[in-house]
Amino acid sequence: MKYSPKTFHKQFKLCLVLCLLCLGPTFLNAQKILIVNNQALTIQSDAVYQSLQEAIDNANNGDILHIIPSLSSYGDVRLNKSLQLYGIGVNDQIHPLQSTVGSISIAANNEQLLADIVLSGLNFTDLLIQNSTENLQVKANRFSQIIHTNGQSKNAYFLHNIFERFNFDQTDNDNIVLANNVINVSFTGSNAQSSKSSSQILIFNNLFLSNATAVDVFLPAFREINSAVIQGNIFYGVSPNSAAITNSLIQNNSSFRSSRPDFPTSTNGNTVTNNIENVDPQLVNVPLLSFWQFAFDANLATTSPLKNAGQDGTDVGPLAGFYPWNPSQSPLPFIESIDVQLQPDNSLRIRIKAQKN
């Protein structure tokens, strides 16, 4: 089926609104806040844990886990409940000590649906989606890749992350949103993005970067994409072209410095309009052939051709669109210190000092 821009815009806006309306937690039980701190002197209790996996195992659906920054990783974890996990943020210019985790596997014990999971402010390796999920929120993290191997993902929302690869190859996914991320497309290995879903995947206002060894090489952003809205993105040293992009709307994007800076043509069910090909986006300070560092500046220069060039009349790129990225923002108030004192009656007094986000 070939989509017109007008039809796609209506579906896109309706899909986005429905997706965002579903994102709030829906649990009716009492919600607990658990602290996870792997420092050796941490005093453990029913609300304070040294092990992240132990905290997950003892938490109930809907609970919130605050993961304290540490010099050592909290290791690989299996997330088999509907929980919210928060770290301190991944901007190393602000938070040199971060909440670091290994791989996070979303896998229920009996493959039941896991809803309203939130992962935010964490530095981890891989996100392995091995279970059906609904209203999954992955926001303001830094990680390597998303690999979806089992189950349906419905209303999965990825915002303000820094990562290298996504792979949504389960064909029954519904409403996958990737918005205002920095996506580092690796020159080594097959890290191009893939989604075979028959339902829409929304890819808008992302910055695709390359670590290629030279400019003007062919490094494709996508391996195989179907039924996507690809809008408002900057392909910087990365090619937006692939013969395996089908049934998609591709509009108001920008490309620069690739051997294939051209966008796909309006064939294979695609609608391709208003893209800016092989023109310097005039980013204030983002070197070519470099993965993202927080010392960079992805703002557009005042003379940039991407100013007001987005479909919605705003700028193209991750600092514009529906949810502009703020690289300095922390997902939660910055916890400066936690003082845990054992009282004479064996209760714990916990004092938390924090700055607002």
Q: Would you kindly state where each structural domain of the chain is located, as residue ranges?
A: 5-23+135-326, 32-114+339-357
- 19 — pLDDT class (breaks 50, 70, 90): very low
DSSP-derived pairing of the beta strands 348-355 and 334-342:
antiparallel
Predicted pLDDT at 21: 42
The mean pLDDT of 207-219, rounded to a whole number, is: 82
Predicted pLDDT at 276: 98
Token reading at 149: 């191997």
* pLDDT-above-70 percentage for the chain: 83
- 186 — pLDDT class (breaks 50, 70, 90): confident
* 275 pLDDT above the threshold of 70: yes
Predicted pLDDT at 130: 92
pTM of the predicted model, to two decimals? 0.85
Predicted pLDDT at 356: 60
The mean pLDDT of 56-63, rounded to a whole number, is: 96
The residue among 201, 178, 170, 175 whose CA lies nearest residue 18 is 175
Other C-beta atoms within 10 Å of 64: how many?
A: 17
* 224 pLDDT above the threshold of 50: yes
Residues 6+ apart with CB under 8 A from 344: none
The C-alpha atoms of residue 89 and residue 96 are separated, in whole angstroms, by 10
Beta pairing partners, 65: 34, 85
pLDDT digits (tens, 9 = 90+) for 297-347: 999 999 999 999 998 899 999 999 988 999 887 776 555 566 667 778 777
Higher pLDDT, 343 or 3: 343
pLDDT digits (tens, 9 = 90+) for 77-135: 999 999 999 999 999 999 899 999 999 999 998 778 999 999 999 999 999 999 999 99
Cα 251 to chain centroid, rounded: 21
Cα 226 to chain centroid, rounded: 20
- 12 — pLDDT class (breaks 50, 70, 90): very low
